[in-house]
Structure formats: structure tokens, C-alpha cells
Amino acid sequence: MKCDQLLALLNDYVDGDVDPALCEEFEKHLAGCNPCQVVVDNIRKTITLYRGGQPYELPLRFRERLHGMLRERWKQKFPGADSSKSS
Amino acid sequence: MRRAKSGDMGAFEELVNRHERRVYSLARRILRHEHDAEDVTQQTLLSAVEHLPEFREEASFATWLLRIATHAALKMLRKRRGLPTVSLEQAAEPADDEGTIPHPEFIADWRENPLVLAQQAETRRLLDEALNELDEKHRLVFLLRDVEGLSVRETAEALELSEANVKVRLLRARLQLRERLTRAFGDESKRLQPHAHAP
């Protein structure tokens, strides 16, 4: 396997989705190619950082308005349901 | 979920409390506009009330909401541009996803590990900036797959793309973000030159 071929399989490899036979070749190349090792490591870290990112908070006034609207719509949609448990 | 579907508003509000930030964040990152993201969040959750009885629980509730939010956000993007509603697949230039994969240029170990970096305020700004520099089609795929953690299939369904197309775009997105982040976080003294990477 060459660097280019490794690059094409990069996603499947980091997602644990690569064919076992190819995986062996991939790792064989990786063991002897320092730049490819670093690229794979960089990619994993990139994904880790984005996955671990915190979501944005809803602006408070928008959130209050939104929840009010949802309660109204809920009452229209489920008029007979018990809504006393709502906060 | 069962309680919500039987009309328990409190149960539905618990679900909303758990997922609303993800919906809002996805909309904000797709649209890069606070008020448009609010509109999309509102549309998504109102639509969830409307269609809750039809929710089959084949997907998780979060995935279902993210799919609704993606559709609403894409619709807004197209409206902004004054384009008729067409799928991303149709709108894409056919040649865009072909050709060679961009080669890594800046190759170096990072100075810090992601856990340390994640705690730095500067990192969040940098991650958003790097994401905003991607083409829209690459950003959308990366957001759903890697930020929100949807599967390739779920991402393909939400964006009305083929799985093969999602994979190609995802690879480009990941490589571009790797390049950008490594330029920021890479240890220059341990940099490996691109020529060393040739086969």
C-alpha cells in the first residue's frame, strides 16, 4: 500500500469500518511511515475536538418564547390530554 | 417518549430540554446566523409537536429532530439565495467530488492533546472559524457526521445524498480541517516535510 491509497481509506480506518484484509495492509504501511502515522493521529484528534465541543446555549428570551409557543401548540394538538405535569 | 406520545406535555418538555441545544447549535452552525437559527429551532420543535404521533422510533428522537432541523435549515439557505428548492445532489456540480484527494501539507504532532485544547476558550473560536472556511457541502456533511455523530447512512438521508457522496465529502472535510487545525496546534519543531510523505 502507498500513501495515496492509505489516504483514500483514511475515513473507513478511523471509523473502524475497513475491510480486515485491507486493515492489515493499512497498518503495515502505517508502521513504516511516520508522516502517515501523524496524519492519522491528527485526523483522530480533529474529530475528537469537534465531537467533544459544547453546543450553543439558546438565548434566554428566545427560549422562554419558544417554550410558551410549544405549550400553546401542544394544547391545540392534544386538547384532551392532561397537561398539569408541565413545568 | 411513550408518555409524550400519549399527550403528556411535561414529558415532551423534558425531551425538548434535553435536545434543544443540539438543534439550535446545528442550525446556527449551518446558517451562521443567530436569528435564522432561532427560526429553524422554532420550526423544528413545532413540527415535532405536530408530527409526534407519526414518529416511529426507528431513529432516535435526537436523530429525528436533527433531520427536521437540517431540512428546515437547508430550505432557509436556499430561500436566502433565491434558488428554487432542489436537493443538494442536484445542486452540486458533478465534477466537484471527483478528482484527487488533497494531500496533507502541514504534518506535525500537536503541541497539546485534545482534552487540554478543549478547555481553552481560544480553541472554540478556532474550531468554528475552521468549520466556516469549509465549502457549504463539506461543512454540512461534517456537521452531521462528526459534530452531531450521525451515521453515514443517517447523514446521507438527512442531506438527500448518496452514502458514497457523503463519504467523499467527509474525507475532504476531515482533511481540510486537519490541515487547518494542525497549522494552529502543530509543533513546528516536529514538522515533517510533505515530500517525505510521497509514496
How close does chain B come to A78, measured CA to CA in Å?
Answer: 6
User: Measured between alpha carbons, how far is B171 from B164 in angstroms, rounded to an integer?
Assistant: 11
* Cβ atoms of residues B72 and B59 within 8 Å: no
pLDDT tens by residue, B147-160: 999 999 999 999 99
- The predicted pLDDT at position B126 comes to 95
Per-window interface: A 17-76 vs B, CB < 8 A? 33-36, 38-39, 41-43, 45-59, 62-63, 66-67, 69-71, 73-75
What is the three-class DSSP state of B5? helix
Q: What b/e readout covers B8-22, taking b as 16+ CB neighbours within 10 angstroms?
A: bbebbbbbbeebbbb
Q: What average pLDDT does range B14-24 have in this prediction?
A: 96
* Cβ atoms of residues A56 and B28 within 8 Å: yes
Selected from 3.40.50.720, 1.10.10.10, 3.40.50.410, 1.10.357.10, the CATH number assigned to the domain covering B94-190 reads 1.10.10.10
- Please tell me what DSSP assigns to residue B57: S
pLDDT tens by residue, B41-51: 999 999 999 99
Q: Does CATH place domain B2-81 in 1.10.1740.10?
A: yes
pLDDT tens by residue, B51-76: 998 888 777 899 999 999 999 999 99
* Cβ atoms of residues B137 and B88 within 8 Å: yes
Q: Is the ipTM above a cut-off of 0.95?
A: no
**Contact check, Cβ <8 Å, A56/B25:** yes
- Residue A86 above 50 pLDDT? no
**Contact check, Cβ <8 Å, B198/A3:** yes
Of residues B84 and A17, more confidence is placed in: A17
Residue B179 sits at φ, ψ, to 5 deg, of -60, -50
The DSSP-derived string for chain A is --HHHHHHHHHHHHTT-S-HHHHHHHHHHHHH-HHHHHHHHHHHHHHHHHHTPPPPPPPHHHHHHHHHHHHHHHHHHSTTS--TT--
With contacts defined as CB-CB under 8 Å, which chain B residues touch A82? 7-8
pLDDT classification of B88: cutoffs 50, 70, 90: low
Q: How many CB atoms neighbour CB A8 within 10 A?
A: 15
Give yes or no on whether B2-81 and B94-190 have one common fold. Answer: no
Sorted by where each begins, the domain ranges of chain B are 2-81, 94-190
- The predicted pLDDT at position B29 comes to 93
**Contact check, Cβ <8 Å, A3/B197:** yes
